[in-house]
Amino acid sequence: MAVGLNEPEKLLPVKGVRLASLAAGIKSSDKDDLVLLELCEGSQSSAVFTKNLFCAAPVIIAKEHLLLSRPRFLLINSGNANAGTGQRGVEAARSSCHLLASHTGLATTEILPFSTGVIGQDLPVEKISKSIPQLVSLLAEDNWLKAARGIMTTDTVLKGISRQVEISDKLITITGIAKGSGMIHPDMATMLAYVATDAGIDNGLLENCLKRCVQRSFNAITVDGDTSTNDACVLVATGKSGVQYKEDDTSFEKFEKVLAEVFEYLAQAIIRDGEGATKFISLNVINALSYDDARSVAYTVAHSPLVKTALFASDPNWGRILAAIGRSGVAFDIDKIEIFLNDVCIVKNGGRAQSYTEDQGQSVMSQDEIMITVDLKQGTESAVVWTCDFSYDYVKINAEYRS
C-alpha cells in the first residue's frame, strides 16, 4: 500500500500530445503493456537516461535516435526490459521503431523506444508488430491516465500529475506520468517518466531545465540503492500554448518553478509506492560545506539497511542513524552535529540530547511520514533525499518478481 499517495482522478491534456495504450500480450496478465505517445511536428524533446553501463537496448537506440532527429513518437512497453539481451535486443528495439515508422510514414530515427520489466528476456517484437495498427488508431489527447497505467510493473498506484500556470494571459499546461517502485537509485532511478508541456522552449534551454529538475527530483530518491538498466526521463515542449521561451525570458523562472513541482511530485510518488514501503522518509542535511557533502550524508543514511529496517519496525534506534552518518566519508565535528526526528532533537554535542526521551522518539517513529534532519553546522549548503523503509514485503515482492 502506497504511503499517502492516491491515484489522480484526472490528468489534463497537453495540446500537441496524443496517447494510446493497449494489452499486446507482453505481460503474462491481460493488463495494458504497450503505450504510444505522439508528439506534434515542431515539438522539442530532451531526455536523460540511466548511467548504468549495462544499459538496456532501448536506451542505446533512444540515445542514437535523439542525436539524429526530433522525436515524433515514444513507444513504450512494460513487462519486458529488453536488457541483458545483447545484439538481439538492440535489433529488437530498432525493429520496433522501424515497424511503427513504416506504419506512420516517418523515419525510424523519429521513434524513441522504452522498455521496463524483467531483465534478460527477448522482446516479443511480433506482438508489438501485430498491435501497432490498433495502437495508432487509439491515439487521443485525453489518454494520459490510460498511458500511465500501461507503463506500470510492480507499481501499486498510478502516478501522474497536471499543473497549469498563466504567463502573459496565456495558460500553459504541464502533465507528467511516471512508473517506478523498486530498483530505484540515481543516477536516474527502474523508473520511466514522461512530462509534457504546451509551452514552446528552445532546445538548449529545455535541456538545461530538464537537468536542473531531474537533479532535485528523480536524482534525489532511493528505494534500495539499485540503479536500473532502463531508466529514462523525457521532457517534451510542443509550443501549442503560444508561449515561446528563450534563454533570457524573465517569466521562465515562474514556469520552471511549476515544472519542478511536477518533477518533485512524481519522484516522491515513486518513493511513496516503493516496493513494500510503509513509511515515507525525508533525509534533510543542512549547513554542510558543500552540496555534495550534504547529499553523501543523506544517501548514506537512506541506504542503510539497519536504518531502513528500524524505520519499518518503528524502532527509535537513533544509534543506527548516527553510525550511518559517521561512515558517509564526509568530515565534520562530532561535538557540533545535531540530529532531529521531525522536531525532536535526538543527538547534540556528540551524543544523546539531554532533552530526548524514548517516548518522544517512539512517537515520531510510529508515524507514516518522518523527517530526519542532520545539521552538520559547517557551512550553508543543504540537500534533501527521499527514501522509504524496508519491510517484509520488499523481500517477498523481489523474491517472487519473475514468478
Q: Which residues are catalytic?
A: 190
CB atoms within 10 A of CB 56: 32
Written as one string, the DSSP assignment of 328-362 is SS----TTT-EEEETTEEEEETTEE-TT--HHHHH
Written as one string, the DSSP assignment of 167-208 is ETTEEEEEEEEEE-SSS--SS----EEEEEESSEE-HHHHHH
Specify whether the CB–CB gap between 216 and 260 falls below 8 A.
yes
Specify whether the CB–CB gap between 382 and 294 falls below 8 A.
yes
30-31-34-40 Cα dihedral, nearest 10 degrees: 140
**With the C-alpha atoms ordered 36, 274, 329, 383, is the resulting torsion angle positive or negative?**
positive
The alpha carbon of 337 is separated from its chain's Cα centroid by a whole number of angstroms, namely 32
Q: Of 260, 71, 63, whose CA–CA distance to 176 is shortest? A: 260
Specify whether the CB–CB gap between 160 and 35 falls below 8 A.
no
Specify whether the CB–CB gap between 208 and 164 falls below 8 A.
no
Backbone angles phi, psi at 135, to 5 degrees: -60, -45
Q: Of 372, 324, 386, 304, whose CA–CA distance to 344 is shortest? A: 372
Specify whether the CB–CB gap between 191 and 270 falls below 8 A.
yes
Assigned C-alpha cell, 13: 491534456
Residue with cell 505481460: 27
Backbone angles phi, psi at 86, to 5 degrees: 60, -150
CA distance 365 to 308: 11
Q: Tell how strand 369-375 and strand 338-341 pair up.
A: antiparallel
Q: How far apart are the first and last CA of the chain?
A: 21
